[in-house]
Every structure is written in structure tokens, then in C-alpha cells.
Amino acid sequence: MKNLLVASTSTLYGGTYLSYLMEEISIHFKDTNEILFIPYARPGGISHDQYTAIAAEAFSKIGKKIIGLHSFKNPEAAVKSAKGVFVGGGNTFVLVKQLYTFRLMKTLREKILNGLPYLGTSAGSNICGLTMNTTNDMPIVYPPSFKTLGVLPFNINPHYLDPNLTSKHMGETRETRIKEFLMQQSVPVIGIREGSWLQVKNDQIILKGKYSARIFEHLKDPYEVVPDTIIKL
């Protein structure tokens, strides 16, 4: 009984925060006017209050109220009573550490498995997978575990970028790093390009948006799936 939007990013080039996804978000949270926002990932190091204000401004355009989880004395109780949750992007290490610190990983997982409407962008999408091992982020803090919500049967690589064949940059590509991961692990990985997202209804997972996604599986060549494909891994 799952109901998730798992998006690669919150903002597209030339757009505003969540603008490309607002129609889907409005439908997704149609049964509640109040969404609990988890700002722990703190993109660019901004404060919880600053981040919550950004989310609140975006959601006000569809008549929804955002409340930051950091404003509650008992975060676990707030998650248990939530009617909808949005976990924003930023640094996945920081996000996961905070979720474990406040004993929220198990509680949030249970709520999602019981049908809580969940929206994740970037780091908030990373944590939907089995582990956070395929994040793009720097390990600026050390969480007690890399295990995450596990509400999807694979890992996510948001902001997936294709190699730029005209670039003189000689550093690793996203594909290189994911292949390195699969030398050590057998967990499938989906690289979601900016502008696309996964729509999860119960056990059905469908790629939505403008762009195809790249799928990596252990001992297999990477391959593409086009929008509206049902993903079975």
C-alpha cells in the first residue's frame, strides 16, 4: 500500500522550485492540505527555517500548508500523525544521520508502507532505496548506517548525468561510479535524469517525466527505459 513520488530534482534549469512537478504534487496530496516537510538535508547549508520557507512558498501556490519537522518537540510523534510527507534534497549523509538520530527511519518506513503519501526529491529520493550508497554527495557527516527506507527494491542515483563526450574533464562519470558500486554489491540502481520521476502505487513503479532512465544491474550492461515504462527489478 505505497503511494510515492520519487523525483530526481526539485528544480529544473530556467524553472522555480518544484514548478515542473506541481501538477503531479497537487494530485498526489489531494487528500490533505497539510504536509510535513523534513528539511534535514539542508542544501548549501541553509537553515531548517530557510529551507521550510522555500517549500512553503511553493506549496502555497496549490493551496497546501507546509510544516517543518524541526519545529516539533517530538519528531517521531509528528511523523506518526502526518497525512503527507515531503523530504527535500540536499546532503544525503546529513539527512540520514538526522533520521537515525531522531529514530525516524523505521517510523517513516512503516508510515509509507501503510499508504502515507510521500514526496522525495534528490536526497529525499535517495533514501527510498535499499541504501544510500549510490548518492552523489560528499560524506560531510557519518550516519550510523547506510541503510535507508527500503521502500523500493533498488537504489536511486538522482541527478543522473550522461558522459559529456566533448568535455576534457577526466574525472569519473556517474556511470563509472555506479559500475564500481556493482562490483561490490548486487543491488540494482536506477539513474533518474532531472525532469523525470518514479510514480509508485502499491507495488507498481512507473517512470514518469520527460526523459528515459538508465538502469544498472549486477553483471549486466546498463540499459535505458523510456517514460511510462513499468519498472520490474
Active site residues: 122, 137, 159
**H/E element, 97:** helix 92-101
Contact 32, 84 (CB under 8 A): yes
C-alpha cell at 199: 510514480
Residues 6+ apart with CB under 8 A from 134: 126, 155, 156, 157, 177, 178, 181, 189
Q: Catalogue the E-assigned strands of the chain.
A: 3-7, 34-38, 65-68, 85-87, 118-121, 155-157, 189-192, 196-201, 204-209, 213-216, 223-225
Integer-rounded Cα Rg, in Å, for the chain is 17
Round to whole Å and give the CA distance between 16 and 231: 29
- What string of DSSP letters covers 207-224? EEESS-EEEE-TTS--EE
